[in-house]
């Protein structure tokens, strides 16, 4: 199959709508990452998403809509969700709802809840309007690869597997949406993203809990609240080690670790803040953004992780940011890329 990459315009959006309506797949930009979409009501179309990605069938998809009136058909909406949708839609917040039968079980991996979000990217909105369907879409990467934040990343993973990639430039947020469970008592963040715990608490006027496995691996026998958390999603081939501690201790530790890895003959690098590029210039530094701007780190992270495989890195040592605000989403993705291997520099 030939994969076309087209800039989003009237012609390509009409083509995308035709493809989606006829059960085919379209990759499209959102403000978080690129999604791989299919008509959420078409079981076979949804199955082909799992095939194209090599995604395990027990990892459910997020359904994307452009108008809240679409919700009535697909799920049951509790009052609490209304305030959240008023505040954060369109935007990077996914909410779990009780599912209605029009959504096939393949979308939700057999779960009674369906995850729904209204993206804010103008191309996503235009595509969803043009087809006027609920669109099931996970991130448009091959399973196990970092999520794509440019059309070129999607092409790397999906060339020959899907008919169309809509190019809308680089994604602004850069990490996937916040997934919030409102169906089981205390509102709980299953996956941190661009809408932070603090922002949710401000609107709900109550405490929001964090799923246990956000900053550590699942324990043996522990049930994943969000099936995606079971999988080692964001792992590059390199062994990644996170280094925490005071600024000076971390910088010394990074230099020494890089030196030792190089001496062992490994291809090594460090992931560092813009502020430390110069200090670490002899350690093959890869810039992850400013330490004072977690949004910038989120925006760059997946691109940097992808480059590690492109450069055949074997040993990677990374700085960390405080797990607050968007920093929590960054540390969740970085933690998983490192299989939660964290060293404390003294
Ligand atoms: P992706 O689109 O690749 O970011 O994947 C969507 C993520 O949303 C999955 O990893 C799931 O863990 C999560 N998700 C989707 N539907 C549900 C659901 N019904 N319950 C819990 N988590 C869900
Ligand atoms: Mg994904």
Q: Which of 126-135, 212-221, 259-268, 334-343 is least confident?
A: 212-221
Nearest bound ligand to CA 115? Answer: 1
> Of the bound ligands, which one is closest to the alpha carbon of residue 145?
2
Label residue 231 by pLDDT band (50, 70, 90).
Answer: low
CA 56/CA 182 separation, integer angstroms: 25
Helices (H), 22-174: 43-53, 71-74, 79-88, 105-108, 122-131, 151-158
Q: Ligand 1 centre and the CA of 56: distance in Å?
A: 12
Q: How far is the CA of 115 from the centre of ligand 1 (A)?
A: 7
Architecture of domain 4-215: Alpha-Beta Complex (3.90)
- In angstroms, what is the span from residue 19 Cα to ligand 2's centroid? 22
Once rounded to an integer, what is the mean pLDDT over residues 244-265?
98
Atom of ligand 1 nearest to the CA of 33: 4
pLDDT at 232: 60
Residue 338 CA to ligand 2 centre (angstroms) = 17
Q: Cα of 262 to ligand 1 centre, how many Å? A: 39
Asked whether this chain's domains 4-215 and 239-344 adopt the same fold, the reply is no
Could you state, in order of their start, the residue ranges of all structural domains in the chain? 4-215, 239-344
In this prediction, residues 24-51 reach a mean pLDDT of 98
Ligand 1 pocket residues where CB is under 6 Å: 59-60, 62, 96, 108, 111, 113-115, 138-139, 176, 179, 190, 226-228
Give Cα 128 distance to the centre of its chain. 20
CA distance 257 to 242: 11
How far apart (Å, rounded) are the C-alpha atoms in residues 212 and 313?
31
User: What is the reported pTM?
Assistant: 0.95
Cα distance between residue 192 and residue 253, in whole Å: 29
pLDDT band for position 310 (50/70/90)?
very high
Report the nearest atom of ligand 1 relative to the CA of 94: 8
Token pair belonging to 118 = 């209204």
Average pLDDT over residues 98-104: 98
Q: Is 30 helix (H, G, I), strand (E, B) or coil?
A: coil
**Architecture label for domain 239-344:** 3-Layer(aba) Sandwich (3.40)
């Amino acid at each position: 199959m030939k994969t076309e990459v087209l800039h989003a315009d009237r012609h390509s959006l009409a083509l995308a709508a035709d493809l989606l309506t006829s059960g085919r797949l379209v990759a499209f930009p959102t403000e978080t990452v690129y999604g791989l979409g299919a008509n959420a009501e078409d079981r076979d179309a949804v199955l082909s998403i799992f095939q194209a990605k090599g995604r395990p069938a027990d990892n459910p998809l997020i359904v994307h809509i452009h108008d809240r009136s679409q919700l009535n058909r697909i799920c049951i909406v509790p009052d609490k969700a209304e305030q959240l949708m008023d505040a954060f839609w369109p935007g990077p917040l996914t909410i779990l709802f009780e599912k209605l039968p029009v959504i096939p079980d393949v979308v939700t991996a057999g779960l009674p809840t369906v995850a729904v979000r209204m993206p804010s990217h103008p191309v996503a909105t235009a595509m969803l309007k043009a087809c006027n369907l609920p669109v099931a879409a996970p991130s448009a990467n091959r399973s196990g690869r970092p999520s794509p934040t440019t059309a070129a990343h999607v092409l790397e993973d999906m060339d020959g597997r899907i008919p169309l990639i809509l190019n809308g430039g680089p994604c602004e947020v850069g990490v996937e949406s916040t997934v919030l469970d409102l169906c089981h008592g205390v509102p709980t963040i299953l996956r941190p993203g661009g809408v932070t715990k603090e922002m949710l608490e401000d609107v709900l006027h109550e405490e929001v809990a964090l799923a246990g496995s956000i900053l550590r691996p699942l324990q043996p026998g522990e049930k994943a609240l969000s099936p995606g958390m079971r999988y080692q999603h964001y792992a590059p081939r390199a062994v990644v080690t996170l280094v925490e501690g005071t600024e000076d201790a971390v910088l010394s530790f990074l230099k020494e670790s890089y030196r030792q890895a190089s001496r062992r003959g490994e291809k090594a690098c460090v992931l560092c803040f813009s502020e430390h590029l110069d200090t670490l210039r002899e350690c093959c530094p890869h810039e992850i953004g400013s330490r004072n701007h977690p949004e910038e780190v989120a925006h760059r992270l997946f691109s940097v992780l992808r480059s590690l495989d492109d450069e055949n890195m074997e040993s990677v040592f990374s700085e960390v940011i405080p797990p607050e605000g968007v920093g929590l989403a960054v540390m969740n993705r970085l933690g998983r890329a490192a299989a939660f291997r964290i060293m404390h520099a003294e």
